[in-house]
């Protein structure tokens, strides 16, 4: 990792939206002003500063389809102390993320899509 940078507004917005969809209040979680990019930012995954050795599960998972029609799975995770851990993106063909998702493009389990 070691690619530390300020969190972007679109990342904060996505985190807030995901927390809301999970029925959680954004003000219940501290969001660090600095994040670490995984894989040099290729897929969009970031560490939100939680204890990486204390993964305690997923908060919520969503999907969207990138500009090249490749599905992307987004997972917001937490650590054992209840702090945000990662905003993880998994593009199913492992290629570079072309478009950062906006809330209206997300689909959650049990939804049929747009």
The closest alpha carbon to 93, from 113, 73, 77, belongs to: 73
20-30 CB burial, b ≥16 within 10 A, e <16:
eeeebeeeebe
Predicted pLDDT of residue 39: 79
Exposure of 12 by Cβ count < 10 A (0-12 exposed, 13-18 middle, 19+ buried)? middle
- Rounded Cα distance, 18 and 107, in Å: 11
Q: What is the pLDDT along the chain (114 residues), one digit of tens a residue?
A: 468 999 999 999 999 999 999 999 988 888 889 999 987 767 789 999 877 788 999 999 999 999 999 999 999 999 999 899 999 999 999 999 999 999 999 999 755 444
Domain boundaries, the chain: 3-95
């Amino acid at each position: 990792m070691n690619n530390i940078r300020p969190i972007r507004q679109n990342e904060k917005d996505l985190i807030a939206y995901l927390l809301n969809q999970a029925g959680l209040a954004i003000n219940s979680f501290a969001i660090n002003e600095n994040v670490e990019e995984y894989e040099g930012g290729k897929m969009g995954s970031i560490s939100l500063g939680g204890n990486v050795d204390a993964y305690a599960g997923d908060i919520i998972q969503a999907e969207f389809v990138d500009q090249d029609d490749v599905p992307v799975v987004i997972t917001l995770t937490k650590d054992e102390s209840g702090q945000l851990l990662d905003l993880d993106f998994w593009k199913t063909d492992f290629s570079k993320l072309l478009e950062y998702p906006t809330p209206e493009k997300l689909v959650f389990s049990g939804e049929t899509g747009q």
